[in-house]
């Protein structure tokens, strides 16, 4: 495989434009009654017509057999090897609430939990307290300062929050306090390297203070922290591909990720049609668009086969509003599969179509998992999609003499 | 690609069971008269029926174009990159005779050879002496002790034996004595690193003593040693996959390999039906079964196309005795190809079928090399088979947040 440094050397700007349409959790599994996946079931004349002019294939975000979380799934689509660029749990959680992490911040995922008088964890989720209650408790903890480090506490949902440690000389190299089990005391937070000892001490003091503050708030009378992490330093898409990239997505997590790779975040409403509208409004100002649609994944996670089908059909109806712009390269795929039957992300490979004037179409004329198997891209790694898009946009020089 | 350490982090136990059926040397080449490979020729209604419910593909154990030995072929199937975990010639030979190597043992492959009065090698194989003669000569050499190191000598077949050096502070980092040519003297055994100088001296003394002992036993009046090696330290399948794995194979080499990755070796007779019987008898006690059938490879190496076809048909008849157990995941493949036409291992990719409730079947309904080309797994690395099996057994957590 070619690495990012090599891509930097051969990438070049040009007037062409690329649209990457990511249908979150697109891949599915066949409905036992019909033998057809969500994508096969959906009536998609526009996607099928596009597939007929495209080169198709099946892609794996991390590896065959590996179920990607949303961050590795998207990093792969942007061409970043998700096993090299790891986004910690704390950072992912901060992205998920649109919190703007500064480069030196350390973020941790927090749970409100219940402990008994002896300090043993009795419920790691404090009975899933309401989000309103969470909000109130976060206000009690937010803004503590320890040894010159400010601790910012922000609610997520139910028992979940994010704790951000902001100050100089911090390290993310410390262990969790979450023991992952009940009936034991929370783990002491320990430094995993000598440089992290101050950070371990600050995090421990925060936990101790939180315990005092929450003492009378049973069931949420303690906190558990895990996944201490710092925003990874990623080369931007401008640096690698010399692109001017923009993101259209109505979910905070994906906005955060897109920002991390240097995309401009475009204003958009929350419907599918809103997002296509945002693309049209901004089409002249950028040369790469990441257009992200979340509802397919949500329907898959809810186990709602029919709703996932309906969302795919809605995307299909909106598609002409994108193809009419005549992008030089169009890629349609997902970030991972979310089969309604599994009600979760899965390892199944992703259908991919890539259209350009230069794509060398194969004989696939239907956009579906079983049809893409016979596509000209074969089965390949999703990290190669950006290279293919760049090549088809004539934005890559020859490699080697 | 994801490495073993990452797999350790995401693997988990569950009640599901995996059966990996390895048909040794399965892949073939078309008979010039019929245009069909051994597998295409064989009447295999059960394998074809399973393929129809499965996801299929073609796998390469090491790389497209590389012919694997039996050890790399199997390591790949167990998920170990065969270019990272090298099993030396001496160790492979010891495994092949069911010799239980201790962690510190150094094993070397030995040849009885002929030398003339000047000490020049005249026949590297001593005229391929009989195995009986080999046995007698090994008894003469077995049990020598040099500088506190015991040398164990065990016959293999014809002129081949294994020498095991057992003692403290030994090193495998020494050169061969086998010059690979006749008309020259055996090479002096040299240390390839400073730590290995004592080992080089012990091995040299052993060769000198062997020469004396064998002086009157022409044509087998000298020995040549090569491939000094130590059992590699492999993480076990329990450590990586959290599996309780068992092996069913009637050949020592494969038992040795299976033991090296932490499998329990189950008692079995030597016929195909015996092996399926052993699977049924032990089915409740393990969650992973490596079921190995050797005869296809032997028939291929003998150039016996029809016998290879017949063995495949025998396996097909035995198959219902396995599928009736309703394993959650079934993988059927080979460790390498052994086309009868080539009478040897070959580089040709392996047909693979993977059945599970969650496999997302493709449109392949016949288990053969040309049919698997259109399978949903595409062409992929055999090292990914275990990941796919684990995923389909729902034994892997999501990767990344």
Identify the pLDDT of residue A96: 87
Whether B401 is covered by a domain: the verdict is no
* pLDDT score recorded for residue A253: 87
Contact present, B176 and B227 (Cβ < 8 Å) = yes
Same domain, B113 and B224: yes
Instruction: Say yes or no: A211 and A278 in one domain.
Output: no
B73 and B126 together in one domain: no
What's the rounded Cα separation, in Å, for the pair A73 and A336?
6
Tell me if B388 and A65 make a contact (CB, 8 A cut-off): yes
The reply to whether residue B1 touches residue A83, judged by beta carbons under 8 angstroms, is yes
Q: Are residues B388 and B253 in the same domain?
A: yes
Residue in chain A lying closest to B384 (CA):
A64
Residue of chain B whose alpha carbon sits nearest to that of A346 = B398
A180 pLDDT higher than 90: no
Q: Which two tokens stand for residue B341?
A: 């036409």
> With 0-12 CB in 10 A as exposed, 13-18 as middle and 19+ as buried, what is B293?
buried
Helix and strand element counts for chain A (H, E): 15, 14
Would residue A401 count as lying in a domain?
no
Chain B contact for A269, CB < 8 A? no
Residue of B nearest to A82 (CA): B400
Which of residues A229, A250, A267 is at a domain's end? Answer: A229
Q: pLDDT tens digit string along A226-248?
A: 999 999 989 999 999 999 999 99
Q: Does residue B398 sit within a domain?
A: no
Give CA–CA dist A38/B375, Å, rounded: 20
A399 within some domain: no
CA gap B354, A347 in Å, rounded: 14
Q: Which of residues 79-98 of A touch B (CB under 8 A)?
A: 82-83, 86-89, 91-93
**Single residue among A174, A199, A229 that ends a domain in this structure:** A229
**B220 secondary structure, DSSP code:** S
* pLDDT for residue A117 is more than 90: yes
Q: What is the mean pLDDT of residues A150-176?
A: 96
What's the rounded mean pLDDT across residues A32-39? 97
Instruction: Give every CB contact of residue B161 below 8 A, 6+ residues apart in sequence.
Output: B110, B111, B112, B134, B138, B153, B154, B155, B223
| Assigned domain for A205 exists | yes
Residues A334 and A268 in one domain: yes
Which contiguous run of DSSP H or E holds residue B8? Answer: helix B4-10
Is A67 close to B397, i.e. CB distance below 8 A? yes
Q: Which domain holds residue A133?
A: 91-229
* DSSP symbols for B282-338: HGGG-SEEEEEE-HHHHHHHTT-HHHHHHHHHHHHHHTHHHHTT--SEEEEE-SSB-
Which A residues in the span 329-358 are in contact with B, Cβ-Cβ below 8 Å?
339, 341-342, 344-349
DSSP state of B400: -
- The residue among A259, A254, A237, A232 whose CA lies nearest residue A107 is A232
- Chain A positions touching B358 (Cβ under 8 A) are 29, 339, 341-342, 346
| Closest chain B residue by Cα to residue A61 | B1
Question: Do B288 and B370 share a structural domain?
Answer: yes
Walk along chain B (401 residues) and give the pLDDT tens digit of each residue: 689 999 999 999 999 999 999 999 999 999 999 999 999 999 999 999 999 999 999 999 999 999 999 999 999 999 999 999 989 989 989 988 989 999 999 999 999 999 999 999 999 999 999 999 999 999 999 999 999 999 999 999 899 999 999 999 999 999 999 999 999 999 999 999 999 999 999 999 999 999 999 999 999 999 999 999 999 989 999 999 999 999 999 888 899 899 999 999 999 999 999 999 999 999 999 999 999 999 999 999 999 999 999 999 999 999 999 999 999 999 999 999 999 999 999 999 999 999 999 999 999 999 999 999 999 999 999 999 999 999 999 999 999 88
User: Angle of helix A45-52 relative to helix A305-318, nearest 10 degrees?
Assistant: 60
Q: Which two tokens stand for residue A200?
A: 């371990």
Q: Do A69 and B361 touch (CB under 8 A)?
A: no
Do A379 and B2 make contact, defined as CB atoms within 8 angstroms? no
Phi, psi at B278, each rounded to 5° = -60, -35
pLDDT number for residue B86: 83
Sign of the Cα torsion A295, A298, A300, A305 reads negative
Cα separation, B395 vs B329, in Å, equals: 11
Chain A interface includes B377 (CB < 8 A) = yes
Express each pLDDT in A59-78 by its tens digit.
999 999 999 999 999 999 99
CA distance B88 to B232: 9
Task: Find the DSSP H helices in B195-264.
Answer: 197-214, 237-241, 252-260
Q: Name the nearest CA neighbour of B207 among B160, B146, B116, B131.
A: B146
Does residue B270 share a domain with residue B183? no
Supply the pLDDT for residue A401: 83
Same domain, B283 and B362: yes
B5 touching A, CB under 8 A?
no
* Best residue of A32, A60, A65, A77 to probe chain B, by most B CBs closer than 10 Å: A65
| Residue B42 sits in the same domain as residue B156 | no
* Residues of chain A contacting B380 with CB distance shorter than 8 Å: 64, 379
Interface ipTM: 0.89
The reported pLDDT for the residue numbered A2 is 83
Number of domains observed in the structure of chain A: 2
- Residue A378 in contact with partner chain B when CB distance is under 8 A: yes
CB B144 within 8 A of CB B166: no
What are the φ/ψ torsions at residue A392 (nearest 5 degrees)?
Answer: -65, -20
Among all residues of chain B, which has the CA nearest to that of A91?
B401
Q: Is the pLDDT score of A1 beyond 80?
A: no
Find the CB nearest B384 among A29, A65, A70: A65
Q: Is B193 left (phi over 0), alpha (psi -120 to 50) or beta?
A: beta
Question: What's the mean pLDDT in A284-296?
Answer: 98
What CATH number is given to the structural domain containing B24? 3.40.720.10
Tokens 């009868």 — which residue?
A: B340
pLDDT of amino acid B318: 98
- Residue A252 in this model has a pLDDT that exceeds 90: no
Which candidate, A297, A295, A250, places its Cα nearest to that of A269? A250
Q: A71 with A94: CB under 8 angstroms?
A: no
Place of tokens 């275990």: B386
Please indicate, yes or no, whether residues B160 and B250 belong to a single structural domain of this protein. Answer: no
Contact assignment for A373 to B380 by CB distance below 8 Å: no
- From the list B6, B360, B390, which residue is nearest A348 (CB)? B360
Beta carbons of A83 and A382 less than 8 angstroms apart:
no
Let me know if residue B397 belongs to a domain. Answer: no
| Cα first-last separation, chain A | 18
Residue A123 β-bridge partners: A114
Tell me, what's the pLDDT at A397? 96
- What residues contact A24, with CB distance under 8 A and at least 6 apart? A70, A292, A293, A294, A295, A296, A297, A298, A334, A335, A338
Output the pLDDT for position B65: 97
B398 to chain A, any CB pair closer than 8 A? The answer is yes
Does B238 share its domain with B190?
Answer: no
Instruction: Please tell me the predicted confidence (pLDDT) of residue A91.
Output: 94
Q: Domain boundary at A229, A252, A275, which?
A: A229
Is A79 inside any structural domain? yes
Rounded Cα distance between A159 and A126, Å, is 7
The confidence score (pLDDT) of residue B252 equals 86
Distance CA B397, CA A224 (A): 21
Q: Nearest Cα to A199, choosing from A166, A223, A232, A152?
A: A166
Domain shared by A53 and A17, yes or no: yes
Q: What are phi and psi of B57, to 5 degrees?
A: 180, -175
The CA distance from B96 to B264, in Å, is: 17
Closest Cα of chain B to A374: distance in Å? 6
Mean pLDDT of chain A, nearest integer: 96
| Chain A, chain B: beta-carbon pairs less than 8 Å apart | 99
Neighboring chain B residues of A342 at a CB cutoff of 8 Å = 358
Structural domain includes residue A400? no
H/E segment holding residue B381: strand B378-381
Q: Do A30 and B399 touch (CB under 8 A)?
A: no
Provide DSSP, A56-121: EEEEESS-TTPPB-HHHHHHHHTT--TTTS---HHHHHHHHTT----TT-EEEEEEEEEE-TT--E
CA distance B65 to A353: 29
């Amino acid at each position: 495989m070619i690495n990012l440094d090599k891509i930097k050397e051969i990438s070049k700007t040009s007037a062409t434009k690329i649209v990457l349409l990511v249908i979150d959790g697109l891949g599915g599994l066949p409905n036992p009654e019909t033998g057809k996946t969500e994508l096969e079931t959906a009536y998609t004349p526009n996607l099928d017509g596009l597939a007929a002019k495209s080169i198709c294939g099946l892609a794996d975000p991390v590896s065959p057999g590996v179920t990607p979380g949303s961050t590795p799934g998207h990093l792969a689509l942007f061409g970043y090897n998700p096993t090299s660029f790891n986004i910690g749990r704390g950072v992912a959680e901060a992205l998920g609430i649109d919190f703007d992490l500064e480069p030196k911040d350390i973020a941790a995922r927090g749970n409100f939990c219940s402990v008994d008088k002896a300090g043993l964890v009795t419920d790691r989720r404090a009975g899933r307290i309401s989000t309103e209650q969470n909000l109130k408790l976060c206000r009690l903890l937010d803004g503590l300062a320890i040894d010159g480090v400010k601790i910012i506490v922000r609610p997520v949902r139910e028992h979940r929050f994010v704790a951000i440690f902001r100050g100089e000389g911090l390290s993310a190299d410390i262990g969790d306090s979450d023991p992952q089990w009940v009936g034991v005391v929370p783990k002491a937070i320990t430094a995993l390297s000598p440089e992290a000892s101050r950070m371990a001490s600050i995090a421990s003091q925060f936990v101790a203070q939180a315990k005092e503050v929450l003492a009378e708030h049973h069931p949420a009378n303690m906190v558990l922290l895990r996944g201490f992490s710092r925003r990874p330093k990623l080369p931007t898409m401008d640096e690698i591909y010399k692109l001017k990239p923009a993101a259209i997505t109505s979910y905070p997590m994906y906005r955060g990720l897109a920002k991390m790779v240097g995309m401009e975040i475009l204003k958009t409403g929350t419907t599918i049609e809103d997002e296509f509208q945002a693309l049209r409004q901004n089409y002249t100002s950028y040369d790469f668009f990441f257009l992200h649609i979340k509802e397919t994944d949500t329907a898959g996670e809810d186990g709602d086969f029919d709703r996932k089908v309906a969302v795919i059909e809605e995307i299909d109806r909106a598609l002409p509003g994108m193809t009419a712009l005549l992008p030089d390269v169009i890629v349609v795929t997902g970030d991972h599969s979310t089969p309604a039957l599994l009600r979760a992300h899965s390892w199944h490979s992703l259908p991919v179509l890539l259209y350009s004037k230069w794509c060398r179409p194969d004989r696939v004329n239907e956009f579906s998992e079983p049809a893409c198997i016979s596509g000209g891209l074969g089965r390949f790694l999703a990290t190669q999609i950006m290279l293919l898009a760049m090549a088809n946009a004539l934005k890559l020089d020859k490699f080697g003499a």
